[in-house]
Chain A
Amino acid sequence: MKLTLTSVYRPHCFPTLLNSSSFISLCRPFCTSALSSVPTGVKPQVPLFLRPPIYSTKLCDLKKWHDWAKGLAFSVGSTFLHSDNGPDSSLLCRELKWLMEDAVVGHHSLGVKDDGRVEMRVDMEELYCLWRQRILERRPFQYVVGCEHWRDFVLSVQEGVLIPRPETELVVDFVSGVVSENEDLKKGAWADLGTGSGALAIGIGGVLASGGGRVIATDLSPVAVAVAAYNVQRYCLQDNIELREGSWFEPLKDMEGRLAGLVSNPPYIPSKDISGLQAEVGRHEPRVSLDGGIDGMDALLHLCDGAALMLKPGGFFAFETNGKQQCRALVDYMENNRSGSFCNLEIRADFAGIQRFVIGFHQ
């Protein structure tokens, strides 16, 4: 299913705040292959594991489903792996176990009633449908169950919102390290731009909560803002995290020169690589949160320029990138085009050893 552009998937509209010719390339419409069209006034979906257990099924029927689902997972073998580095049978079986955990209530001894029935958060028909979508449509597992486990959080996600990646968990550690040595930054206002599910804002909000600091999280997608708001509320961080709808720095005009910190995991995949992505990513996740333009650097360069303007002296920033090449290019850009704006620039690797992040401070 392909839908044309909806109001949700607007092209990047960078603010006029910064007039750099390098951003013109971004002001073009993106095509999207995302599945759902979401009306305005978005109501976020409730993740499977939080839905009420209003269904019940016979244990033998559940087992029948499980055998079928496992068979389907095994039929995949390593086809996905070879075609686009997708999941193989063993990974799919692990996901099947997680799907069971989310869909079925309780332990077998508690969950199975005397009449041999189990309580479910979803009916059997939908359960068949969900697993079919997972395997046949390559719908990401996280969209199937409506959540992703990230750091200590279980975050709600749905179509239209980027699924937070384990690599990004490290950004919270960077921030945690910086504020542990600097009370001033801990008390300040931080921003997470292109927050998506709100993962970074929530991770950082938790770190700052004890010191009185707060996070402003922005996203141009109303779906993302709605989902992020739902997640913020679930972790009772609404006093520390404020959500603003809009593109990058656009909703932050009142914060010029006042931000204590700035983080972002912006779209950074070069446009030419989008078509070759793993199906779960390329077919289902919002292109607007993946595609970083010709060299993947459009949003990153924009963030650099904005950081120079929005951060207060001594303010900290951390950006995630596509890898070594982008890290180097970003550092070069900061040193050459923005000399005097930033100091203590560092490239940090993720846990797989890929140079992933650029961090530093405003002069």
Chain B
Amino acid sequence: MTTDPTAQTIVGATAGPPDHDPAGDDAGASIWRVAARRLRRNPGAIIGAVIVLVFLAVALLAPVLAQYDPQALPGRTEIRPTFIPGPSDAYPLGLDRYGGDLLSKLIWGARASLLIGVLSTLLGLAGGALLGLLAGAFGGWVDTVTMRLVDLMLSVPSLLLAVSIAAVIGQSPNAVVIAIGVVQVPIFARLLRGSMLAQRDQDYVLAATSLGLSRRTVVMSHIVPNSVGPVIVQATLMLATAVIEAAALSFLGLGGGSPITAEWGRMLTAAQNELEVAPRLALWPGACIAITALGFTLFGEALREALDPKTRKR
């Protein structure tokens, strides 16, 4: 099968978005065009996209936007055991317990939290897509073994699984990325497999097979491009979960680093003891996590609706 020259080119093509499919799959392209048009008309999608873009911009431009370095403690001398200075001209959102500038730390925190969220989702997507593809393309015992493994992973609630994985790897941001990524693998695997199975019995697949195309070509250039929709939707929604779970793991201390680390979950841990003195130290990072998650969720839900043929006529 690997000697088939067409199969080689088509395998490469699947790396790009399906609407650029060189196989000329018009139906596939129009789904995405229609979806884009429907997204533009959906206020939820626009709000979600704006939130996500703002936070992405903040994360990317953190070195420019933040007045201080993430580890800097410019107001160290102004901190008293019972008093933490609030907003002032020098520190727009006030200081934290250690004398760090809250605004600067929130900005750097956006970079840390989004990076963890995006990397872990990419990891989960890659692992899940690989397993799902194996199961969906080969069926038989490959499918059975893969899906039993997936069931096993899903038999433990995801946050607990992530906690135990991160605990074993050791307390560091990398551990958090790996833990949250691994936890997502079974979800993506099951989704892609289910989606591929639904396509397998479609007439166009029968047509492609009867034209004598190899199984690899049928799977890679026909079944897969038509199965990725739900996976992309899930990935968008997963970004919200990943940001929240990353914060949860950091909150439990699995993200490592010192208490002054500029990461939203970690900042919440530090704020825990200051609730009576300076509640804003908890409010700001918490609100950042919630708003980022809201952005991804709104956009993901809108994307799901836009790609769903059942709601297409509305």
Decide whether A and B assemble into one complex: no
